[in-house]
């Protein structure tokens, strides 16, 4: 009787079967393996399977045994443990920049990293069907191209859009392409951002990757010299920004109620210097891009936080509060009873 064309692939099929179908709670007997291989058109004898399991163990596949009424075999350890896979699934589901379709694709691939029995536990109870997600399916390719441009130190070009009041996409600059010097990619405020160096302006600019279209790497255009690369401290730089709004960086002094110490450390890190002007208050100095989102961040804490200096930032804060007060006293209330 002629052997099946798959016979030479017996060891590979056995490794796949064990990986897909077994775990500590779902072992397979030798008889189960013979049946599963037979479904692939592969003949197997009991003695040869013992040798195959030994060979797979020698190769590094962790196949363990469990004795019940008979001996069962299962894959004991894998590159990813189940709690790690659950974290990955949760991260994919919660990520706003990953589209709904791509989220489903990625989760299916993550499920393939464990057995079918354990994969059912990856149908996590994180129900986000109504969560706002990006609609740009090309974001993954945009991210990949920007990573390549950064690695190869090349300029990149793209068109950049925003939304109009009728919820349509409209390209900025009348559709003219942006040409930038990519320096780093960062994930902030649930979005992917490209940090690029503007050589003529001698400053860094930020772009939402999901708002890019027709991204291209300019292979014949090396990136302009970037003063702080490779010493560019991305973590320090992004910590100075609030919701990735750029602004002139200034040393700002802020005062907080003691109850906000954890919030401040989460935002600025443990290394931020602070003093104690009062028993129930503390002050810090930090370099901040003093944008409207920074001022709004302070306002959310009410009387428990305030800007102490410099005077120019204190005045910005005062003016913002006055503008908000006038809104509630007048324009925004028109037509209301």
Domain residue spans of the chain: 7-75, 82-122, 139-231, 249-329
Q: Is the confidence at residue 280, as pLDDT, over 70?
A: yes
Backbone angles phi, psi at 306, to 5 degrees: -160, 155
| pLDDT of 274 | 84
State CA 218 to chain mean position distance.
26
| pLDDT of 334 | 54
| pLDDT of 297 | 85
| pLDDT of 331 | 54
Q: How confident is the model at residue 34 (pLDDT cuts 50, 70, 90)?
A: very high
Pick the CATH number of 139-231 from 2.30.30, 1.10.760, 1.10.3470, 1.10.357: 2.30.30
| % the chain with pLDDT above 90 | 35
Q: How confident is the model at residue 242 (pLDDT cuts 50, 70, 90)?
A: low
Please, what is the angle between helix 10-21 and helix 46-59, to 10°? 80
Residue pLDDT, tens place only, 115-169: 988 888 776 544 444 455 556 667 778 888 998 999 999 999 999 988 777 777 8
* Topology classification of domain 7-75: Arc Repressor Mutant, subunit A (1.10.10)
CA distances from 197 to 31, 111, 194 (A): 64, 39, 10
pTM of the model: 0.57
**Rounded distance, CA 230 to CA 150, Å?**
11
Q: How confident is the model at residue 296 (pLDDT cuts 50, 70, 90)?
A: confident
């Amino acid at each position: 009787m002629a052997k099946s064309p798959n016979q030479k692939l017996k060891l590979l099929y056995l490794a796949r079967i064990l990986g897909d179908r077994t775990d500590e709670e779902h072992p397979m007997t030798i008889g189960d393996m013979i049946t599963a291989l037979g479904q692939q058109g592969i003949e197997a004898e009991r003695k040869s399977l013992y040798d195959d399991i030994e060979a797979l163990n020698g190769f590094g596949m962790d196949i363990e045994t469990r004795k019940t009424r008979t001996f069962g075999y299962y894959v004991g350890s894998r590159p990813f443990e189940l709690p790690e896979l659950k974290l990955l699934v949760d991260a994919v589901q919660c990520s706003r920049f990953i589209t709904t379709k791509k989220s489903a694709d990625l989760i299916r691939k993550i499920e393939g990293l464990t057995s079918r029995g354990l994969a059912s536990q990856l149908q996590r109870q994180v129900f986000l069907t109504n969560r706002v997600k990006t609609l740009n399916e090309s974001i993954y390719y945009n991210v990949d191209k920007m990573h390549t441009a950064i690695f190869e130190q090349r300029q990149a070009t793209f068109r950049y859009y925003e939304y109009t009041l009728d919820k349509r996409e409209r390209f900025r600059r009348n559709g003219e392409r942006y040409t930038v010097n990519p320096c780093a990619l960062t994930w902030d405020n649930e979005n992917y951002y490209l940090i690029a160096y503007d050589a003529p302006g001698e400053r860094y600019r930020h772009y939402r990757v999901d708002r890019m279209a027709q991204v291209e790497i300019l292979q014949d255009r090396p990136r302009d010299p970037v003063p702080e690369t490779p010493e560019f401290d991305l973590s320090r730089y992004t910590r100075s920004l609030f919701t990735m709004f750029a602004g002139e960086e200034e040393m700002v002094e802020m005062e907080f109620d003691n109850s906000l110490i954890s919030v401040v450390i989460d935002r600025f890190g443990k290394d931020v210097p602070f003093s104690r002007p009062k028993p129930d208050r503390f002050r810090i100095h930090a370099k901040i891009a003093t944008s409207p989102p920074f001022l709004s961040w302070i306002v959310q804490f009410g009387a428990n936080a305030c800007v102490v200096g410099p005077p120019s930032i204190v005045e910005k804060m005062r003016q913002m509060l006055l503008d908000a007060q006038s809104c509630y006293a007048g324009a925004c209330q028109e037509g209301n009873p």
